[in-house]
Amino acid sequence: MPSRRLFFALAAVLIAPTAHADEGMWMPGQLAEIAAEMRSAGFRGDARRLADVTRPPLSAVVRVGGGTGAFVSQDGLLLTNHHVAYGVIQYNSRPEQDIIEAGFVADGRAGERAANPDFRVLVTVGFDRVTDDVLAGARGRTGRAYFDAVDTASKRIVAECEQSGDVRCSVANMYYGTDFYRIRQLELRDVRLVYAPPRAIGNYGDEIDNFMWPRHTGDFTLLRAYVAPDGRPAGFSPDNAPYAPPAHLRVATTGLHAGDYAMLAGYPGITFRHRTAGEFARQVTHTLPQRVAVFDALIAAVEAAGRDDADVRTRYASQLQSLKNNRKRAAGELEGLLRSDAVRQRSDDETAMLARTRADELGGIEALRAVLAEGDAVAERDLLLGLVASQTQLMRAALLLERLRVESAKPDAERETGYQTRDHALIEGVLRQVQRRFSPSAEQAVLRTLLERYQRLPDAQRLPAFDAAFGRTPDALARALDAVYAASALGDEAARLSRFAEARDGRALEDDPLLALVRPLVAAQLEVEGARKAREGELLRLRPAYMRALFAWRAGQGRAVYPDANGTLRISYGRVEPLSPRDAVTYAPVTTVAGIVEKHTGAAPFDAPQPLLDAIARGDFAGTAEASLGTQPVNFLTNLDTTGGNSGSPVLNARGELVGLNFDSNWESVSASWWFDPRMKRAIHVDMRYMRWLMAKVYPAPALLEEMGLPAQ
Amino acid sequence: MPSRRLFFALAAVLIAPTAHADEGMWMPGQLAEIAAEMRSAGFRGDARRLADVTRPPLSAVVRVGGGTGAFVSQDGLLLTNHHVAYGVIQYNSRPEQDIIEAGFVADGRAGERAANPDFRVLVTVGFDRVTDDVLAGARGRTGRAYFDAVDTASKRIVAECEQSGDVRCSVANMYYGTDFYRIRQLELRDVRLVYAPPRAIGNYGDEIDNFMWPRHTGDFTLLRAYVAPDGRPAGFSPDNAPYAPPAHLRVATTGLHAGDYAMLAGYPGITFRHRTAGEFARQVTHTLPQRVAVFDALIAAVEAAGRDDADVRTRYASQLQSLKNNRKRAAGELEGLLRSDAVRQRSDDETAMLARTRADELGGIEALRAVLAEGDAVAERDLLLGLVASQTQLMRAALLLERLRVESAKPDAERETGYQTRDHALIEGVLRQVQRRFSPSAEQAVLRTLLERYQRLPDAQRLPAFDAAFGRTPDALARALDAVYAASALGDEAARLSRFAEARDGRALEDDPLLALVRPLVAAQLEVEGARKAREGELLRLRPAYMRALFAWRAGQGRAVYPDANGTLRISYGRVEPLSPRDAVTYAPVTTVAGIVEKHTGAAPFDAPQPLLDAIARGDFAGTAEASLGTQPVNFLTNLDTTGGNSGSPVLNARGELVGLNFDSNWESVSASWWFDPRMKRAIHVDMRYMRWLMAKVYPAPALLEEMGLPAQ
């Protein structure tokens, strides 16, 4: 059959991976530098026009909750993910009108519903390099002094910047202390819910499909930002008017196909791509295996505690789920790094780089390694002691109360973040919630699991205060825990709240065995924290040498270096691309409504609403169908470089039109925060044609489509 | 990117499914009839030459254990699946030389190991139509008399056929009583183990990958058949010589690609493709949902019984696994039939057929439906009472003893199959094994689960004897079971074996409460059995009318009709074909050694042996690589029509050369025993190039390769 042979020969030529990796979360200001690459990848606009975050189109891209969003009309209509806006939907849901389940279509602007008061949309209005200002006081210093100088300068810059009011400012650290930028963001506080699909569309597949491809989720929601009549940000008021954004994106009426250019803008949270080869190795040989092992042990302990106790099972169900998610995530990251051979590749690259690095920089890099080694030496202890606080309820409450007492003795501005006056409400909430998720036996099992591991650490890692409190053997530990949990009164909410009143005033706390136990522990933790800040100061001082070596090495290769993600606005570009995660398995890059029906079981999370199933059966996809598939597309897949925080990022075509909404990644790219493997890294988007079809034919909102300049039918 | 557009346009044209369904398990004698279709599908040989099962190449295809095999040398070398020959491997494994784990390569012919004495290879030497002989005494009769006449004639034909010795004979019923064939098979009893890969190659992936594609299993083993020096079948003797088969298959040195013609010969066990539309509907609306519900209830009962009892968990682990497999299989079959819309399609086809059926046949078809309805009316009862025997240990033993007592009172030839003198050893084995898998509390839980359902059946289904024994309420049932299980002595092996001695002589059994309980139950079951045989007689008499209508209807469409599978030699043809089981998911039809490494975890069942991993890493695939993939192929996928019994079937290319060895199907085709869905039905094969590579480079056996006429390197 020669025609089939021809097909495979062609396939081999046409789908061979290109040399260019499409890796990169670029600062807008870098786009001019990579304009040629973007054009050769298929971009049809002017890359330099994208460079200014305060001008269109990037000024349409905003920070929403913990994710990203984009304005899509001149009247402040804002598109983001259903899961990013979930709190807003939940806040407006009532037993008698469950809009989480049923979805929501506002009845005109008057019908739009105010978001929870703490919900914010941030519009970036300034992005300025302040490196010299930040580092002026730090130069010549080392360790903790370096750290404090950077911290003090940053706080001063923020305070000065915010004096004008209306804007929220921050200082972003680029390239690990190499550069600092002052970011000014307009803080919009009156945000309203406009359109949300039903839960079983916006979150179709839920946890089962999370990180999965092929995917069939309508993970989008429309909000609208409002401002005071004078145009300034304000809290909710019926007198407010829609915010006129500096720009809005045009929704495309066409879609993308495999190989087509795509780009995305958003606020990716954190990546580790430019960490040293030693840090990569450490992650694979120690950090991730330790996390997997500790989470496994905690899961086993909590499950054993609940085996014959239904009450414990109920109270710890959520914590157990979270432990399992953490375990799965760490194991997935480890698996991905091993599969991609990331440690070897990073090491080879670093070796080649250092061979060409100027001798005067090598000293700094050597010193950097020594500081990293100091941190490694106490990493397992810090992991375990961190979990002692985060995986317990009563112990956490006691640690929180004692630390609050210590911090409250200082002037408010000097207190550690999290213990200032503005944090009191949050702390009180934590102290009130202990009961719901607490059982003394389960908590002691968790503590035994963590502290027995702590007891086995080498002497150099252990702290005398902890050894004194918990002894050196499992038996001593069990006795100490039994005694203190039997005697403590903190299991009683009133007892905790009376201590809270004392602690926030910096007064001595009424006696309690658990508080007596934690007092020296908190003191020890303060010392540990001081040492950590000194190390962080050194890292801030020394990492720039490593980054300079990287800049030089990449420049020699003709490649620019993007900074690791840090929650600031970035742009990625790449293309629509299928995924072949395993031998003989290929996933097409576009899914269709057929998959919704295939996955439908009638039970959550695969309980597609009847109106959706009926509309699919009717098959009226005119205007929103994908011609090559002859049906309605739902989600699509690109090789765009994303991480947490990119939820809700607009995906644009070569002409800068909005074609998709980013909402997830595939499981195989869980390790991409460290290493971008072009064979495996994919981002998952809602196809705007699916949103348009839902809004036109299933849960109609013709006025909103018209507002976005789209056909209403 | 126009080149990519071109690619997808080409892909759409080239991989579009063809109209021809490739359905059919053809009797060799039918191949002349479908020769044109086979040629147009790509067959390059003479279909008529395939028609005679006693001549090459079909005479190379033999029955092995419960599956199929094929001779691959003139010296009796025989290729079949690792899982078909597993008993032989196990029989030869020793703690000090665990050849299951390590695999086995015979050290010359003298090193070949005798199989377990009951292992048989059957070579078909005669296949003759005996319809008139079988039906002569039945014509004019009905019901049980029709059944008995067919049964008696069949037994007589078999006895006459076997008089010559050396051959085993049987009468096969084709097209549900329309035609009967006498099959004569040479019974080879000296079979030896020649070559087996290690367990982690031959069964790589085990239960996890069972029914799965993509697959990476080397499920093959080589045996050799021996005969006495005079050439006649004989039991093992060192004087025996290799059997010279009437033909052997030539192993191809090339492989297949997507779209290439393939065909397969083997002994498929049972299918239901030509059952009536009413039987299809019944399967989907009653039979499968009932099975799923009953297995769910049994699983829950056994799990509950083991919740706080480790001993019960151990004793019932295997039964629980089997219940879960049965449940999964029934649910999968139901899911597949629903997905394929099989009931509607079968019903539409039957309606069209009946509209063109001669009026004088319609009466018979109407009568057939009435008999089927009689069986439906007691189907749930028969399911439950069948499980009462098959899912218990002590109850089964009691039922077996009482039935044996009843049957043993008759002359041996008149006893029911399974209770004749030659069955005594098997029955004794069952009676001895009770202890290993028995707990009184778990067994009572199983019985309560089944019999409470029985109690809820309508009056017409229930049997007075069972009502009397177990009462009409769950309470009465529980009391009856408690009393009899507390008082019975049959839990003691000696007590069972002493009754066995009595039962096989047809003597009265020493009193026991459980035996007293089952006595009237067995009597009632005998009546039920009589009624069933009467119905079966009517079905034998009436189904041919339905088949004749089908022959006429298909003839009008220019299509031949193959008989439903019944364990006789059949041929399927079709092609290598990818699988797209779900939206956006495509599985390539050829897997490679890369997938072995991807799946390898080091823990069974994904613990690829180190020599295999090393050989993959070396990458020496010269002579066995797939050029288009640039690596070593492992398994491949076709749309060939197969079912249980086709394990070990040789897969041939268009020139009749051996290119693969069938060993499994994909999960989506679990419903294919009823309905062949060309979109979903696939068969999974070992690529002969993988076998050749393993035998040349990993676990070398150059002499065997040479014997098969293959390059030894």
Asked if A586 has any chain B CB less than 8 Å from its own CB, the reply is: yes
Helices and strands in chain A: count of H runs, count of E runs: 26, 19
CA distance A707 to A76: 10
Interface contact flag, B582 A214, Cβ < 8 Å: yes
Distances (CA, A) of B341 to A60, B199, B334, B348, B677: 49, 39, 11, 11, 10
Nearest to B240 by CA among B255, B229, B252, B256: B229
Task: List Cβ neighbours of A445 (8 Å cut-off, separation of 6 or more).
Answer: A301, A302, A304, A305
Model confidence at A152, pLDDT cuts 50, 70, 90, reads: very high
Residues, chain A: 713
User: For the purposes of burial, counting CB atoms within 10 Å of the CB of B543, is it exposed (0-12), middle (13-18) or buried (19 or more)?
Assistant: buried
CA distance B532 to B564: 21
Q: Average pLDDT of A650-679?
A: 96
Which residue of B215, B335, B339, B583 is the best one to mutate when testing the A interface, meaning the one whose CB has the most A CBs within 10 A?
A: B583
Closest CB to A7 among B10, B588, B598: B10
Residues of chain B in contact with residue A587, where contact means CB-CB under 8 angstroms, are 584-586
The structure tokens listed for A287 are 């950090």
Asked if B3 has any chain A CB less than 8 Å from its own CB, the reply is: yes
Interface contact flag, A216 B258, Cβ < 8 Å: no
Task: List Cβ neighbours of B638 (8 Å cut-off, separation of 6 or more).
Answer: B262, B264, B574, B575, B576, B577, B589, B651, B660, B682, B683, B685
Under CATH, which number does the domain A15-117+189-266+563-592+635-713 receive? 2.40.10.120
pLDDT at B11 > cutoff 60? no
In the set B82, B83, B216, B600, the catalytic residue is: B83
- In chain B, the residue whose alpha carbon lies closest to the alpha carbon of A637 is B584
Q: Average pLDDT of B86-105?
A: 95
Hunting for tokens 């469409």 — which residue is that? B557
Residues of chain A in contact with residue B576, where contact means CB-CB under 8 angstroms, are none
Residues of chain B in contact with residue A590, where contact means CB-CB under 8 angstroms, are 584
Interface contact flag, B583 A214, Cβ < 8 Å: yes
Strand, coil or helix: what is A511?
coil
Task: Provide the strand spans (E) within B72-203.
Answer: 77-80, 104-105, 113-114, 121-129, 167-174, 179-188, 190-196
Interface contact flag, A214 B8, Cβ < 8 Å: no
Q: Taken in order B345, B347, B352, B357, is the CA torsion positive or negative?
A: positive
pLDDT at B5 > cutoff 80? no
CA distance A162 to A168: 6
Task: List Cβ neighbours of A348 (8 Å cut-off, separation of 6 or more).
Answer: none
Asked if B14 has any chain A CB less than 8 Å from its own CB, the reply is: yes
Residues of chain B in contact with residue A5, where contact means CB-CB under 8 angstroms, are 257, 628
Nearest to A167 by CA among A120, A97, A132: A120
State yes or no: is A647 an active-site residue: yes
Under a CB-based contact definition with an 8 Å cutoff, are residues A571 and A28 in contact? yes
Interface contact flag, B628 A594, Cβ < 8 Å: no
The structure tokens listed for A467 are 């050894």
Tens of pLDDT, residues B449-498: 999 999 999 999 999 999 999 999 999 999 999 999 999 999 999 999 99
Longest CA pairwise span in chain A (Å): 87
The kind and range of the H/E element at A636 are strand A633-638
* Alpha helices, DSSP H, located in A563-667: 593-599, 610-618
Asked if A605 has any chain B CB less than 8 Å from its own CB, the reply is: no
Asked if A584 has any chain B CB less than 8 Å from its own CB, the reply is: yes
> How many beta carbons lie within 10 A of that of residue B247, not counting itself?
15
Min CA distance, B673 vs chain A (Å)? 22
The structure tokens listed for B525 are 């079951």
pLDDT at B54 > cutoff 90? no
Which residue type does A316 have?
Answer: Y
Domain boundaries, given as residue ranges, for chain A: 15-117+189-266+563-592+635-713, 123-187, 277-281+354-542
Model confidence at A129, pLDDT cuts 50, 70, 90, reads: very high
Residues of chain B in contact with residue A666, where contact means CB-CB under 8 angstroms, are none
Interface contact flag, A4 B214, Cβ < 8 Å: no
CA distance B185 to B162: 10
Share of chain A above pLDDT 70, in %: 97
Q: What is the pLDDT of residue A21?
A: 57
- In chain B, the residue whose alpha carbon lies closest to the alpha carbon of A16 is B4
Asked if B595 has any chain A CB less than 8 Å from its own CB, the reply is: yes
CA distance A63 to A123: 7
Strand, coil or helix: what is B207?
helix
Angle between helices B359-377 and B379-390 in degrees, nearest 10: 50
Min CA distance, A339 vs chain B (Å)? 9
Distances (CA, A) of B445 to B7, B304, B320: 61, 9, 13
Strand, coil or helix: what is B127?
strand
In the set A190, A219, A260, A564, the catalytic residue is: A219
The structure tokens listed for B63 are 């029955």
Q: What is the pLDDT of residue B21?
A: 57
* Alpha helices, DSSP H, located in B182-224: 199-202, 206-209
Asked if A412 has any chain B CB less than 8 Å from its own CB, the reply is: no
In the set A82, A83, A216, A685, the catalytic residue is: A83
Nearest to B258 by CA among A582, A584, A13, A8: A8
Q: Average pLDDT of B268-297?
A: 97
CA distance A377 to A362: 23
- In chain B, the residue whose alpha carbon lies closest to the alpha carbon of A589 is B584
pLDDT at A55 > cutoff 90? no
Tens of pLDDT, residues B606-652: 999 999 999 999 999 999 999 999 999 999 999 999 999 999 999 99
Asked if B66 has any chain A CB less than 8 Å from its own CB, the reply is: no
CA distance A602 to A615: 16
Tens of pLDDT, residues A322-336: 999 999 999 999 999
Tens of pLDDT, residues B380-417: 999 999 999 999 999 999 999 999 999 999 998 889 88
Asked if B310 has any chain A CB less than 8 Å from its own CB, the reply is: no
The structure tokens listed for A452 are 């027995």
Residues of chain A in contact with residue B2, where contact means CB-CB under 8 angstroms, are none
Interface contact flag, B590 A584, Cβ < 8 Å: yes
Nearest to B280 by CA among B349, B192, B189, B343: B343
User: Which DSSP symbol is given to A284?
Assistant: I
Interface contact flag, A214 B585, Cβ < 8 Å: yes
Closest CB to B7 among A3, A10, A260: A10
CA distance B130 to B169: 13
CA distance A532 to A540: 12
Write B2-6 long-range contacts (CB < 8 A, 24+): B3/A14, B4/A14, B4/A257, B4/A258, B4/A259, B4/A260, B5/A257
Asked if B214 has any chain A CB less than 8 Å from its own CB, the reply is: yes
Model confidence at A474, pLDDT cuts 50, 70, 90, reads: very high
Interface contact flag, A585 B214, Cβ < 8 Å: yes
Tens of pLDDT, residues B195-226: 999 999 999 999 999 999 999 999 999 999 99
CA distance A551 to A533: 27
* Alpha helices, DSSP H, located in B245-358: 277-282, 288-306, 310-315, 317-339, 342-355
Strand, coil or helix: what is B539?
helix
CA distance B398 to B421: 19
Under a CB-based contact definition with an 8 Å cutoff, are residues A454 and A333 in contact? no
Asked if B584 has any chain A CB less than 8 Å from its own CB, the reply is: yes
Closest CB to B214 among A1, A14, A582: A582
pLDDT at A128 > cutoff 50? yes
Asked if A713 has any chain B CB less than 8 Å from its own CB, the reply is: no
Angle between helices A2-14 and B2-14 in degrees, nearest 10: 150
Residues of chain A in contact with residue B7, where contact means CB-CB under 8 angstroms, are 10-11, 14-15
Q: What angle do CA B517, B522, B524 make, to 5 degrees?
A: 105
Closest CB to A628 among B8, B260, B594: B8
Closest CB to A584 among B3, B214, B628: B214
Look over chain B and give the mean of its residue pLDDT values, rounded to a whole number: 94
Which residue of A209, A307, A583 is the best one to mutate when testing the B interface, meaning the one whose CB has the most B CBs within 10 A?
A: A583
Distances (CA, A) of A586 to A577, A583, A637, B584: 11, 9, 13, 8
Under a CB-based contact definition with an 8 Å cutoff, are residues B709 and B251 in contact? yes
User: Which DSSP symbol is given to B210?
Assistant: T
Min CA distance, B616 vs chain A (Å)? 14
Q: What angle do CA A169, A173, A176 make, to 5 degrees?
A: 170
The kind and range of the H/E element at B586 are strand B585-587
Q: Average pLDDT of B44-60?
A: 88
pLDDT at B344 > cutoff 80? yes
Asked if A590 has any chain B CB less than 8 Å from its own CB, the reply is: yes
Nearest to B283 by CA among B156, B365, B372: B372
Residues of chain A in contact with residue B589, where contact means CB-CB under 8 angstroms, are 584
At residue B113, what are phi and psi to the nearest 5 degrees? -105, 130
Most confident option among A3-7, A212-216, B20-24: A212-216
Q: What angle do CA A134, A135, A138 make, to 5 degrees?
A: 125
- In chain A, the residue whose alpha carbon lies closest to the alpha carbon of B584 is A588
Q: What is the pLDDT of residue B614?
A: 98
CA distance A221 to A196: 5
Q: What is the pLDDT of residue B235?
A: 95
Under a CB-based contact definition with an 8 Å cutoff, are residues B82 and B218 in contact? yes
Topology (CATH level 3) of domain B1-120+189-268+570-713:
Thrombin, subunit H (2.40.10)
Q: Is the peptide bond before B605 cis (omega within 30 degrees of 0)?
A: yes
Min CA distance, B595 vs chain A (Å)? 5
Under a CB-based contact definition with an 8 Å cutoff, are residues A540 and A176 in contact? yes
The structure tokens listed for B110 are 């003298």
The structure tokens listed for B683 are 């068969």
Strand, coil or helix: what is B600?
coil
Q: Is the peptide bond before A563 cis (omega within 30 degrees of 0)?
A: no
